[in-house]
């Protein structure tokens, strides 16, 4: 059975640029050190939006509301399907509960991470859509 993994783009205008929140994985070894959109696996009985809201509460201690899809689904191995969504920030300052670090990246920095191999490979296909979002005016 294919499990759905949801990943969220929280965007904030900060320091004169729109920035997306990325998280640096601490595990497993082949992904440790790489940056991703935070999220996790959808549990039984949950909608993708509910899963995203729960995962960001658990991993980052922030409250968000799950929104529109970003880009296409990405198969990971034989048993995971990864999906990206907009996530509207509601409350809380992000804390790295499970990640090595957190960062807010503007459009150029997202491209640089992808080009330099510092982004989780499955997420690289979303960079074009992320950059388009970051170049649009808010509110987010």
Q: Which residue ranges make up the site for ligand 8DG (CB under 6 A)?
A: 5, 7, 31, 36-41, 76, 80, 82, 120, 122-123
Q: Which is nearer to ligand 8DG, 31 or 127 (CB)?
A: 31
**Closest alpha carbon to 119 in 59, 37, 39, 6:** 37
Contact in structure between 21 and 104 (CB atoms under 8 Å): yes
Under 8 Å CB-to-CB from 117, ≥6 apart: which residues? Answer: none
For the bound state, the minimum distance from the C-beta of residue 5 to ligand 8DG, rounded and expressed in Å, comes to 4
Q: Which is nearer to ligand 8DG, 16 or 29 (CB)?
A: 29
Contact in structure between 35 and 103 (CB atoms under 8 Å): yes
Q: Is 49 exposed, middle or buried (0-12, 13-18, 19+ CB in 10 A)?
A: middle
Q: Distance between CA 8 and CA 40 in Å, rounded?
A: 9
Residue in the shown chain whose Cβ atom is closest to ligand 8DG: 40
Q: Which is nearer to ligand 8DG, 7 or 137 (CB)?
A: 7
Q: Which is nearer to ligand 8DG, 22 or 107 (CB)?
A: 22
């Amino acid at each position: 059975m294919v499990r759905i993994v949801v990943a969220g783009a929280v965007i904030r205008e900060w320091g004169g640029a729109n920035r997306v929140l990325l998280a640096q994985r601490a595990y497993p070894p082949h992904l440790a050190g790489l940056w991703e959109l935070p999220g996790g696996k959808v549990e039984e009985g949950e909608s993708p939006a509910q899963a995203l809201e729960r995962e960001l509460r658990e991993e980052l201690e922030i409250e968000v509301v799950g929104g529109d899809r970003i880009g296409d689904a990405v198969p990971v191995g034989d048993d995971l399907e990864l999906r990206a969504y907009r996530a509207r920030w509601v409350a809380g300052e992000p804390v790295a509960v499970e990640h090595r670090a957190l960062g807010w990246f503007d459009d150029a920095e997202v491209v640089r991470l992808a080009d330099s191999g510092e982004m989780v490979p499955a997420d690289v296909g979303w960079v074009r859509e992320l950059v388009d979002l970051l170049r649009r005016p808010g509110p987010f």
